[in-house]
Amino acid sequence: MNVVPLVYLVQVGYNPSVIGTIYALGAVANTIAYIPFGILADRYGRKFFVAVGGFLPFFSYAIFGLTLNPTWLIFASIIGGVGLAGGLGVAMNGTALLPLITETTTDKNRTLVFGALQGFWVLAVTIGSLLSFLPTLLSSIFSLSSYTAHSYSYFVMSTFVAFSIVPILFVREKRASEKVVTPSTSSTSGRFSKISQRLQIVSGRKILYFSILFAFAGLGLGSIVQLMPTWYALRFGASETTAGLWVAIAEASGILAIPLIPKLVKRQGTVFTSSATMILSCVFLALMPFSASFEQAAIFFVIRATLTTISWPILQSYMMGIVSERERATVTGITYTAWGLTSSIGTYIGGTFLGEGQLNTPFVFGVVGYLIQAILLFLFFRKIKPPEELELDLGSREMPTG
């Protein structure tokens, strides 16, 4: 669903700006819903929200299989999402998933577990991207029309969604402490401090900083990365099968980088590793518009995806590690709200530029967004270590010498 609609809708005559609007409004929906769902997940339990939010795309993909009406496609995007930003389903699922997983491990192993989570996600997205050949395969084997073949493909995706929530049913949830902690006014300032106190948030300043980081990352994602298959089609005439193959290669390459995460973090530190790898990824994203061929651009994107696969789970793990346990879903909701807002704005901007034939301009927004995020991460958090690094420092100081 991150490849086929973005190319197929161009083939049936959709203007890229309309495609951008469909995906952008899904991002707007989860932007509005992130904070309330995050607060509710912390208060009433995260497992329920992971399961229900994970099931909502079932309806969205089915709608894509039933119609090409843009109004219904927008509705489907709002309900369950069809792209990386997602809709209401992602708002429910995304805010609760990371805290739920964090409960299952220790501070020492948290980054490793998040790396493994990213690895399985990358593997799944790789398989999904490869499945972009499914409409063509169905057409050739069963002599189906392009519309019918795409419809059946969307129904298959709905079936996958239905099965995806089954493992969640077997997860045992550990409820966070219900004790209310009065936030310290020294951790926040001004109006944000008053809001933090009203919501009983104790990690106010950290949330503010993370929200800024996620906002710039959302701009980078929405303006070009979300629309990459459309850019491939417009710039090089790539089909959905070809675009899907290279998106799959880009995702699969990230799996190879997962084992490097614990080693890099141990050697360079959490913040520096996440920041440095994201800055390097921006270099290769910036090179893509200057590519002489589709293959060259696709290879640059593969390298960029590999570096991002290293940076992103480290950042997520770090955020879960330094904020209060009882408000992790709330923190995720607030920061993802900032991410979703700028992602939706970026997707609309990027789609508009692509629709006007300005194929290079979206890369400016993408590179600048990711680059600022990486730099601010280092500036904001270079002096704040997660619990596992503090324990390591303490252990080093306590070791006998001589």
Assess if residue 333 is contained within a domain. Answer: yes
| Over residues 58-75, mean pLDDT | 94
Is residue 232 within 8 A of residue 224, CB to CB? The reply is: no
Assess if residue 176 is contained within a domain. Answer: no
| Calpha distance 121→46 (Å, rounded) | 20
N residues, the chain: 402
- Nearest alpha carbon to residue 310 among 268, 346, 345, 350: 268
Q: Which domain holds residue 349?
A: 4-167+197-393
Assess if residue 154 is contained within a domain. Answer: yes
Assess if residue 327 is contained within a domain. Answer: yes
Dump pLDDT digits (tens) for 325-384: 878 888 888 898 888 789 888 988 998 999 899 999 999 999 999 999 999 999 999 999
- Nearest alpha carbon to residue 319 among 74, 102, 143: 102
Assess if residue 147 is contained within a domain. Answer: yes
Assess if residue 190 is contained within a domain. Answer: no
Which residue is associated with the tokens 């309806």?
59
Is residue 320 within 8 A of residue 328, CB to CB? The reply is: yes
Assess if residue 372 is contained within a domain. Answer: yes
Dump pLDDT digits (tens) for 221-257: 989 998 898 899 999 998 888 888 888 888 788 788 8
Q: Give the pLDDT of residue 281.
A: 96
Name the pTM for this structure: 0.72
Q: Find the range with the poorest average confidence among 6-15, 35-44, 72-81, 188-197.
A: 188-197
**What CATH number did the domain enclosing 356 receive?**
1.20.1250.20
400 versus 285: the higher-pLDDT residue is 285
For residue 134, CA distances in Å to 3, 79, 149, 252 come to 12, 24, 8, 19
359 φ, ψ (degrees, to nearest 5): -80, -15
Dump pLDDT digits (tens) for 95-119: 888 888 888 788 888 888 888 887 7
Q: Domain total for the chain? A: 1
363 φ, ψ (degrees, to nearest 5): -65, -30
Assess if residue 173 is contained within a domain. Answer: no
Q: Supply 123's token pair.
A: 């593997």
Q: Is the pLDDT of residue 389 over 60?
A: yes
The helix/strand count (H/E) of the chain reads as 19, 0
